[in-house]
Structure 1
Amino acid sequence: MIKIENLTKTFRTTEVETLALNKVSLEVRDKEFVAIMGPSGCGKSTLLNIMGLLDNPTSGSYFLDGKEVGSLKEKDRTNVRKGNIGFVFQSFNLIDELNVFENIELPLTYLKIPADERKRRVNEIMQRMNISHRAKHYPQQLSGGQQQRVAIARAVVSGPKIILADEPTGNLDSKNGQEVMELLTELNKEGTTIVMVTHSQRDAGFASRVINLFDGQIVASIAEM
């Protein structure tokens, strides 16, 4: 599914050069649930952004389903992302001007799915996420837990092979965080590959494997029992 070899990422300004990732190599198997942990600034989100084709590595290779995608140009990265990768972020990243239905529908619109099919898929996923009664509400009218449910619904409505989650419970209380992790676990059991960045040992406990990152390097990879 995902294979990364000797991946390095350097950020440069006119005065400073920062090595965010240093020759990272890892594989994520199909249908695996992997948590990436480590202190702030260790390169977790940078690695996730490269996996999600939001950024390119400085050097090294990134293979997705056997195809090298790390060196693709922006237009080609966008085309690979569509329908293949769903994103869930700590800050929800919902569009304030769109209601719940419209936020969830957005990826299907980009994929040019016919309107009737878009409606069917959105209604189906809203029912599953228990947010059908909020379909016409706007993000600012929702609780944090409801906003994250909308974000997850938007991430999975197109049926992506991979969900990338960056601190998905970071803005939630314990109860809502638990519910979000249970939803991600259900999706994984149904066959979706999940890679999650987290600071939470509790959240990492839902994963089948935990990767520890420190100073841009993998220092441990531990299978959960």
Structure 2
Amino acid sequence: MIKTVDLKKIFRSEEVETWALNDVNIEIAEGEFVAIMGPSGCGKSTLLNILGLLDNPSSGSYILNGTDVSYLKESNRTDLRKGVIGFVFQSFNLIEELNVFENIELPLLYMKIPANERKRRVNEAMTRMAISHRKKHFPQQLSGGQQQRVAIARAVVANPKLILADEPTGNLDSKNGAEVMNLLSDLNREGTTIVMVTHSEHDAGYASRIINLFDGRVVPDTISY
């Protein structure tokens, strides 16, 4: 499903160059659950942004479902993300002016799904995440665990083939964190490909494979950080 070839990302500021990724070569099969680990600043989130088509690499190739998507324009990247990729972030990224139902509905509005189908899909996602009783509540009225459930419901409501999760339990206590990881595991068992950035060895234990990054490169899991 995912393949990168000699992927590089360089950030330039005046005359300073920062190599965030350097010759990253990975392959992730459809249906895998992969954790990306490494110390802060190693390039984990940069790699996830490229995989999620939120950014382009500086050089190298990114192949998604057999298509080279390395250097698409923003409008093309936006179109390709719809219905293909779902995102779950540490900070939840919910819109405070929208209630639970409306936050989950957003991806379907962007896809121009008819109203009746939107309602059906949102209700189904809320039921699955056990937040139907909160449908009219706003993010500030929810606990952290409930907010992350809303974020996962929003990620899955369009039935994406790929979910990218960036520190999905980073703002949660251990109980809520375990519940979120169990939800992601359930989605993976049903066939959804999941790529997760995490610092947590516990969370990484839910994955079927770990990719380790250090100074922007893929390294063996024996390296000492």
Determine the C-alpha separation between the residues in 2 that align with 1:205 and 1:216: 22
Structure 1 residue 18 corresponds to structure 2 residue 8: no
Does the 8 Å CA contact 1:163/1:195 hold for their aligned counterparts?
yes
Determine the C-alpha separation between the residues in 1 that align with 2:26 and 2:96: 37
Q: Name the aligned partner's letter for residue 207 of structure 2.
A: A
Q: Name the aligned partner's letter for residue 111 of structure 1.
A: M
Instruction: Give the match for residue 163 of structure 1.
Output: 163
Structure 1 residue 2 corresponds to structure 2 residue 20: no
Q: Name the aligned partner's letter for residue 92 of structure 2.
A: F
Structure 1 residue 76 corresponds to structure 2 residue 88: no
In the alignment, structure 1 segments of 5+ residues that lack a partner are: none
- Change in Cα spacing, 1:149 to 1:175, as seen in structure 2 (3 Å) is same
How far the C-alpha of 1:221 sits from its partner, in A, is 6.3
Determine the C-alpha separation between the residues in 1 that align with 2:214 and 2:117: 45
Instruction: Give the match for residue 146 of structure 1.
Output: 146
Q: Name the aligned partner's letter for residue 129 of structure 1.
A: M
Q: Name the aligned partner's letter for residue 186 of structure 2.
A: E
The Cα RMSD (Å) is: 0.9
Does the 8 Å CA contact 1:209/1:221 hold for their aligned counterparts?
no
Instruction: Give the match for residue 101 of structure 2.
Output: 101
Q: Name the aligned partner's letter for residue 102 of structure 1.
A: E
How far the C-alpha of 1:136 sits from its partner, in A, is 0.1
User: What is the aligned length?
Assistant: 222
Under a length normalisation based on structure 2, what TM-score does the superposition of the two structures give?
Answer: 0.98
Determine the C-alpha separation between the residues in 2 that align with 1:118 and 1:221: 43
How far the C-alpha of 1:220 sits from its partner, in A, is 2.4
Instruction: Give the match for residue 88 of structure 2.
Output: 88
Determine the C-alpha separation between the residues in 2 that align with 1:124 and 1:206: 25
Determine the C-alpha separation between the residues in 2 that align with 1:171 and 1:104: 20
Determine the C-alpha separation between the residues in 1 that align with 2:42 and 2:89: 18
In the alignment, structure 2 segments of 5+ residues that lack a partner are: none
How far the C-alpha of 1:16 sits from its partner, in A, is 1.8
Moved over 2 A (4+): none
Instruction: Give the match for residue 115 of structure 1.
Output: 115
Q: Name the aligned partner's letter for residue 212 of structure 1.
A: N
Under a length normalisation based on structure 1, what TM-score does the superposition of the two structures give?
Answer: 0.98
Q: Name the aligned partner's letter for residue 194 of structure 1.
A: I
Determine the C-alpha separation between the residues in 2 that align with 1:99 and 1:163: 23
SS in structure 1 at match of 2:159:
coil
Q: Sequence identity of aligned pairs in percent?
A: 76
Determine the C-alpha separation between the residues in 1 that align with 2:56 and 2:188: 26
